[in-house]
A and B are shown apart, each in its own frame.
Chain A
Amino acid sequence: MENHAILVKDYVPRSFGKEYWNVKGPPQYPMFAAVALGLKPVMDDWVDVHDYERLADACAAYGLVMAPDIVFAPVEGSKEGIIGGRNITTTYSRGEKFTGQNTEGQVHILIARDKQAASDARKWAWYSLVINGRSTNKPFVDHLRYGKCLGYPPCCVNFFRTYNNWHLFSNPFETLKNTAFENGNAIGSHYCNNFLMDKGYSYIHHLPCSYRCKASTALAQELEKKLDTLEPAFIQTANRLLRKPLLVFGEQHFAIFDGELQKTAGGASISYRACQYFRNPSRPEENIAFFDEIQAGDALVMNDSHILIKDGTTTIRKAERKKEWFLIDFD
């Protein structure tokens, strides 16, 4: 296949939320819109320490306030020797107090319509940062409180409660297993497709309990309806991209295809014109080695044990399949 076009390009808002986008770019644009439109109580985000005031101004333009939490400062070197290192991802950050005078790093912030809501959410918003060589996890119940504060559906918070341990579970795979298949339809609804959230294309910013979760779909549809009147080009682009089939390797780790998924008795296949690979930046050790071959091919067949990559009638790679990898399409 010769077409190496980038499938997922950044969307630049024409008007609504442009001030936010100018500081932060695409990743949480729809969530900012949801908070600004009163559909979501609170969101959390990170902003470069030098852009803190600019983002505060952007929030104020929409009647929103920010509560700063802590600075995620860069770290060089491995996590070996860190107390609690097993609980943090390969790429991790050092915690630094936010003083307003910090010289590097990203401030973790809570954005809400009022100061109290932002401050209340901050109570449960701790992340396992490294401070003086020690990483400390928050009490587990804070994850559940935080999800509730951010407006996640109770069914999804409850699902997270069961499958949150990334040492034991692949969250997307568990979500897939919890998705009721409907004959003749795509596997998931594009309203519950959160894979592109870091590129700014997702109506939800949580791990859904199913790719057809009714509560997540309702939240997504509300946002779609309101934002469509303010930024219709975003909705058109998002709806097109969120319906494209994916090969999922794990959380934030997948390939998107411009093509069609076909389900067969023994597995599934995708014939495609173009594809793009997204790696999980926190877990570089999970990157797959055969994406170049996927890009060189024009079809991919997945069965119980293998992925076959084809170019025309020739198989150009047979890769062993991990059980938690899957193909999915959305309607």
Chain B
Amino acid sequence: MEVGQMRRQWVDYIKSLFTEEFLDGQFLQLQQLQDENNPEFVVEVVSLFFEDSERILKDLSFSLDQQSVDFKKVDAHVHQFKGSSASIGAQRVKNSCIAFRNFCEEQNIDACLRCLQQVKQEYFLVKNKLENLLRLEQQIVAAGGSIPMMELSF
């Protein structure tokens, strides 16, 4: 595939991630912070997000699996997850976290368990999308092209 075609594919793909609300404007902020001095910045932050998310999901599953659930602790984990998903622009994960926190306050264990499943699902969806996007970027760069940030007009 020639570079021009890959660049068009990247633009179409990232636009679909915005229209389907997987990502929000914060992700563009990350892209803008990446330059020739820091060509790996987005990959670095996204990898940190993956590591952090998977640790939080493990902690959440553990906390909700206890005989008597400490909802304050659960809420603290969800708060963290909400923060990191907001920082990366993972909009749907962030929104699931907001709903999750309401049920922590209500101390509703069934709803919390449902929310955990939903947050997990949204996380793995966006993880998959981000991996596809970053793979495309790597292919463009490897072929000697640059990421067509200018073509993203929102």
Asked if A pairs with B, the answer is no
